[in-house]
Amino acid sequence: MEAPFQPLLTLNLTPPNITNATSGAGPNPCYEFYDRAITFQFYSWGVVGNIIAAYGIIGNILAILVLRHRLMRSSTSYYLISLAVYDTGVLLAMILLLALPTIYLEKKVLMDYYFASMYMNQYLYPLALVAQTGTVYTTVGFTIERYIAVCHPLKAANTCTKSRTKRIIILIFVCSVIYNVPRFFEYTVVEKWDATLNRSIPELRPTTLGSNTDFKQIYFICLQLIVMFLGPFILISILNIQLMRAVKNAKKTRNRMSTNAAKEANLTIMLIAVIVVFLICQLPSIADNILWTIFDEGVLLCSLHYMRLTSLTNLMVIVNSAVNFILYCVFGKRFRRVFIKIVYYPWKRKGTRYKYTLYDSSGSRRGNSMRVYNTESTFL
């Protein structure tokens, strides 16, 4: 959801950011936990997050290769390919905008990249939110499709078609971009001189639109709550309960199930696993966003507990974007078979080949009959 990137522009706590987060005379209380907050973010994002994101990108690429195979082509596979693309975008944004900058803050390396990331934030941040929005509504899309296929099978033939799915995927992308257009005008980069570093450094600051109270109230609280939280989460939860009931009833009649019905049940179980993990990993971000919209920014930035909370909620969303390939392998029988075929078969074909000549003596008595068969046998 919104949480991984909503606080992004302020979670990378440099001393200037902490100074700006509070006001009044006397020592800045944010400095009391600055080192601990940065260290926690370094290990959660810079170490664990980078490892998970790197694996997730590889897993999503493999998932796309498998789902594009001719044996996997279906309306559902199109949704899952789209989901893998969005998840990859989220993971790349995590590496570029969260993990690598945190390494500089803790280890004082990659300084040039850290300042370059400030400029990147202005453009990659909205694109990352487009990917997040696409992830949420792609999940909604295949949940609805699976609900129709399982609970209303007579309507599925006309509703769950490949052409209709392609149009819905395009619609989700267009709506995700339109919804996040204001994000491109929310922040700007201002350069200022740093005497300690003896150089100009970039600093992200909210624009007139980004600091407008009405904009925050309408866009961040009202729209975000309905469009990104309540709407999709309630719908996904209700439909997922219905799917679980359908699978439970199907298990009772397993002996009477046809082969196609068994395949549909297995696909449903796989998608239920994807949906459950999605809900578990994304729900904590709701609390993060509520805190971010209710409390003053300066108060949150000076709370070590909040910093740890938002770091963990961000990490959970990263896990969600990286774990789907494992779920497909564990719960998807057809996915496993196709994956093994793609990985194993090319190596199998490179084995030693032997040519056999077979003689058939069952021919007519008028003459000797010989049939020659050229066959190839492969040994690994």
Cα 378 from chain centre: 40
The predicted pLDDT at position 246 comes to 85
The predicted pLDDT at position 26 comes to 43
Tell me 96's DSSP state. Answer: I
Which residue range is the domain that position 214 belongs to? 8-352
On whether residue 279 sits in a domain, the answer given is yes
What residue spans of the chain are helical by DSSP H? Answer: 8-11, 15-21, 34-41, 50-67, 75-94, 100-107, 111-151, 153-159, 162-179, 213-215, 231-252, 259-294, 297-301, 304-322, 324-331, 333-349
The predicted pLDDT at position 288 comes to 78
The predicted pLDDT at position 254 comes to 58
Dihedral sign for Cα atoms in the order 333, 336, 337, 338: positive
On whether residue 69 sits in a domain, the answer given is yes
The predicted pLDDT at position 266 comes to 82
On whether residue 173 sits in a domain, the answer given is yes
On whether residue 106 sits in a domain, the answer given is yes
Distance CA 56, CA 61 (A): 9
The predicted pLDDT at position 299 comes to 73
For position 15, which CATH number holds? Answer: 1.20.1070.10
On whether residue 364 sits in a domain, the answer given is no
Tell me the backbone φ, ψ of residue 71, rounded to 5 degrees. -75, -10
Tokens of 141: 């899309």
The predicted pLDDT at position 287 comes to 76
On whether residue 368 sits in a domain, the answer given is no
Task: Give the chain's domain count.
Answer: 1
Task: List the pLDDT tens digit at each of the 380 positions of the chain.
Answer: 343 444 333 333 333 333 333 333 344 556 667 788 888 889 999 999 999 999 999 999 999 999 999 888 889 999 999 999 999 999 999 999 888 999 988 888 888 898 888 888 888 989 999 999 999 999 999 999 999 988 888 888 888 889 999 999 999 999 999 999 999 998 888 888 888 888 888 888 888 888 888 887 888 778 888 888 889 999 999 999 999 888 888 776 655 555 666 677 788 889 999 999 999 998 888 777 777 767 776 777 777 888 888 888 889 999 999 999 999 999 988 999 999 988 876 655 554 444 444 444 444 444 455 554 444 433 33
On whether residue 338 sits in a domain, the answer given is yes
On whether residue 3 sits in a domain, the answer given is no
